[in-house]
Amino acid sequence: MNRRALIALLRMSAIVVFGLVVAPQAVPAEGSPPAAYNPYPPGILPADLQSEIDRVSREVKFIFQQALAEWRALPPPNLTGQPPTLQGSGYDMVQTLGKLMNYDENISVFKNQACASCHMPYAGFSGPIPSVNLTMVAFPGSFHFRAGKRTAQRYTYSPWFPVLQFNETQALFFGGNFWDSRATGYLLQNPDAEQAQHPPVDTQEMGAPDTACIVFRLSQAEYRPLFEQVWGEGALDIKFPPNTEKICSTPGGAAVFGTDTTPVKLSPGDRLLANRAFDNWGQSVDAFEKSKEVSPFTSKFDAVLAGKATLTADETAGYNLFRGKANCNSCHVDGRGTTLNRGQTDNSVTATTNPLFTCFGSANEGLPLNPRNAFYYQTKPDFFGFTPNPFGFGYRDLGLGTFLRSGFGSAPNPNAEWIPFAPTSDGQFQVSTARNVAMAPTQCPTTEAPGPYFQKGFFHNGYIKSLKQLVHFYNTRDEPNFAFPVTSGHCPRGTVERVTCWPMPEVRNNIDMTTGKLGLTDREENQIVAFLQTLTDGFTKPYPNRDTFTGMCMSGGTAATQGNESIIPTPPLPPCVSAICGVAPFPTMPIP
């Protein structure tokens, strides 16, 4: 669909959808959400935040309608065989169900936020609001403007990460989902499915106070029949108490709940059903994320592997640097053979059918603390008596290390044997697949200035604003003339942050030294960026819904200094609070 048609369609659908779909369900039975939570100093929230949230909401509703139509077009289910199987249409059914769930705003506490609200296809299913990616990094939740602490990680190829394991042979962690791997997959044996279970009950995201609330909303969903066809008749036949809507319209963390994580009081049998249905929620979303609509292996690189396309000279040079001088493929494994010397020919074959450009591991790349991160400012109680971050700038993001300690802001670690590995995991974050790192909307198809470009935020804290900067960081982080013992916003006069000045790492423990001083020229950096852009799906066939972005492209400037106008001075940092850095087993060296 071209953009003009899409806009016209959206205009019409905005009216119709509002009238037919949204209005009857948009206001919780117990009333509208209270006034927005806004503990932020001026300038932290982007000026266009509300209008951008509204814009994404329209796009989400559009794709939700698309999914409804796909559901209605499915053939009648044919459950047959032993064990019973939905013959012929089972894959389509569970994936369509997952798609409906992914774009369903009614799942959130105030029925205003879907999973997709922070993960839209045109951004490789990462953050869809350029101004948020540029500034506050974490996306606002259903209760505006609570916000999380990290960038919205891409869905694409996340289902391929294995269950988090400590590999005894390698003495290393592999797998899991999320930046800190806290979605282990230990119970469903599927980290991606367990990942999908976190945001709906995350206090700063979709905000439900009880997993049963998600099931309650599913039981009211228009697509409930599809859920029951896929997961069984009676799967949602749960006797919810009369106060369920009231409870499920109150965000998690509210003082009224105390420490109760199951405020919806169900009989044991109904709780069992609700737990099972919540597992089915995760499994359905995972099915969608694994489908060709999200993870299709349709990049130019895939076409090259199939012998159906040829890399340009710059892309080829970038690829050779990627697996050679720049050593990117030590972690972003490309499944190919050895690095070639001059005069040699690459006759190697792929080690796996579809190289995923990740090693499934974690690393601390030494990113500076990003003072733009909205999390640091949420130090006051909101309307519901919840304070997202009582530690303010005393918070440090230790990533995997904090998860292994079951620490603040992460999730319970389900394996006590892993706790001793926390000190050697501090500061580590998941090595994301490099696939779709460059994905951007059709009408502004690059992440790089001068564009027209779509502003993204890279790494877990969004400190990096372009792929050029990303490669430059790996290349020069440890250059003695660039590495300064300062925080962001305080680079010495005569230097340019992210160009000739890198502030000190937020966590200096366990810094990965595979990169940091690569000796790449400016041109070589650009060639690696060119290669990364060949990993974007949609080359061999259009990437579904990449054209649904209705916002504004950005333009001008250079990729090297992209976003530098948004840098703010980091305030004087208090020491890392004991609730994070004082939890045993302690970090290998003090974290300032």
Partner 1 sequence: MNGLLQTLAITTTVGSLLSFQPAAAQVLPPAKKAERVEISRGPELESATNHLTIIRWTTNNPGGSDVHYGIVHYGTDPKDLSQTAKNPIRLNQGHASTTFRVRIYDLKPRTTYYYTVTSEESNGTSDGVKSTVRTFTTPAPGEIIVGARP
Binding residues for partner 1 restricted to 429-458, rule: CB under 8 A = none
- Three-state SS string across 338-385, please? CCCCCCCCCCCCCCCCCCCCCCCCEEECCCCCCCCCHHHHCCCCCCCC
State the Cα–Cα distance between residues 560 and 540, nearest whole angstrom: 30
Single out the residue of 51, 513, 522, 558 in contact with partner 1 (rule: CB under 8 A).
513
**The one segment of 253-261, 456-464, 515-523, 558-566 that binds partner 1 by CB under 8 A:** 515-523
Q: Which is nearer to partner 1, 271 or 517 (CB)?
A: 517
Shortest separation between residue 81's beta carbon and partner 1, angstroms: 18
Single out the residue of 37, 110, 125, 160 in contact with partner 1 (rule: CB under 8 A).
160
Q: Which is nearer to partner 1, 330 or 379 (CB)?
A: 330
Q: Does 47 bind partner 1 (CB under 8 A)?
A: no
The sign of the CA dihedral 571, 577, 580, 581 is positive
Q: Which is nearer to partner 1, 3 or 508 (CB)?
A: 508
Residue 362 region, left (φ>0) first, then alpha (ψ -120 to 50), else beta? Answer: beta
State the Cα–Cα distance between residues 450 and 180, nearest whole angstrom: 33
Partners of residue 502 on adjacent β-strands = 483
* Cβ pair 326, 515 in contact under 8 A: yes
**The one segment of 197-205, 455-463, 476-484, 565-573 that binds partner 1 by CB under 8 A:** 476-484
Q: How far is CA 119 from the centre of its chain?
A: 7
Q: Which is nearer to partner 1, 30 or 522 (CB)?
A: 522
Single out the residue of 263, 282, 401, 516 in contact with partner 1 (rule: CB under 8 A).
516
- Scanning residues 82 to 121, which ones bind partner 1 (CB under 8 A)? 91-92, 95-96
Cis peptide upstream of residue 585 (ω within 30 degrees of 0): yes
Single out the residue of 512, 524, 525, 537 in contact with partner 1 (rule: CB under 8 A).
512
Q: Which is nearer to partner 1, 21 or 152 (CB)?
A: 21
Single out the residue of 150, 290, 396, 468 in contact with partner 1 (rule: CB under 8 A).
290
Element (H, E) at 11: helix 3-17
State the Cα–Cα distance between residues 166 and 163, nearest whole angstrom: 10
- Scanning residues 206 to 265, which ones bind partner 1 (CB under 8 A)? none
- Scanning residues 291 to 330, which ones bind partner 1 (CB under 8 A)? 291-293, 295-297, 323, 325, 327, 329-330
Q: Does 381 bind partner 1 (CB under 8 A)?
A: no
Q: Which is nearer to partner 1, 290 or 465 (CB)?
A: 290
Q: Which is nearer to partner 1, 169 or 347 (CB)?
A: 169
Q: Does 514 bind partner 1 (CB under 8 A)?
A: yes
* Residues in contact with 171: Cβ distance below 8 Å, sequence separation at least 6, in sequence order: none
Q: Does 336 bind partner 1 (CB under 8 A)?
A: yes
Q: Which is nearer to partner 1, 94 or 449 (CB)?
A: 94
Q: Does 69 bind partner 1 (CB under 8 A)?
A: yes
As a whole number of angstroms, the longest Cα–Cα distance in the chain is: 75
Shortest separation between residue 307's beta carbon and partner 1, angstroms: 18
- Scanning residues 562 to 591, which ones bind partner 1 (CB under 8 A)? 589
* Residues in contact with 112: Cβ distance below 8 Å, sequence separation at least 6, in sequence order: 26, 33, 57, 105, 142
State the Cα–Cα distance between residues 296 and 439, nearest whole angstrom: 13
Q: Which is nearer to partner 1, 12 or 29 (CB)?
A: 12
State the Cα–Cα distance between residues 139 and 266, nearest whole angstrom: 32
Q: Which is nearer to partner 1, 327 or 406 (CB)?
A: 327
- Scanning residues 478 to 497, which ones bind partner 1 (CB under 8 A)? 478-481, 483, 485
Shortest separation between residue 468's beta carbon and partner 1, angstroms: 20
Shortest separation between residue 212's beta carbon and partner 1, angstroms: 29
**Ordered alpha helix ranges (H), 180-243:** 191-195, 211-220, 224-231
Amino acid at 323: R
Amino acid at 129: I
Q: Does 130 bind partner 1 (CB under 8 A)?
A: no
Measuring CA to CA, how many Å separate 18 from each of 14, 48, 61? 6, 22, 9
Shortest separation between residue 35's beta carbon and partner 1, angstroms: 34
Single out the residue of 321, 356, 464, 554 in contact with partner 1 (rule: CB under 8 A).
356
Shortest separation between residue 478's beta carbon and partner 1, angstroms: 6
Shortest separation between residue 460's beta carbon and partner 1, angstroms: 18
**The one segment of 267-275, 303-311, 412-420, 514-522 that binds partner 1 by CB under 8 A:** 514-522
Sequence-distant contacts of 346-349: CB under 8 A, at least 24 apart? none
- Scanning residues 167 to 186, which ones bind partner 1 (CB under 8 A)? 167, 169-172, 174-175
Q: Which is nearer to partner 1, 74 or 579 (CB)?
A: 74
Closest CA relative to residue 151, chosen from 141, 140, 138:
138
State the Cα–Cα distance between residues 230 and 97, nearest whole angstrom: 8
Shortest separation between residue 69's beta carbon and partner 1, angstroms: 4
Measuring CA to CA, how many Å separate 327 from each of 321, 458, 517, 528? 7, 19, 11, 11
Q: How far is CA 223 from the centre of its chain?
A: 26
- Scanning residues 518 to 547, which ones bind partner 1 (CB under 8 A)? 518-519, 544
Single out the residue of 504, 568, 573, 577 in contact with partner 1 (rule: CB under 8 A).
504
* Cβ pair 16, 8 in contact under 8 A: no
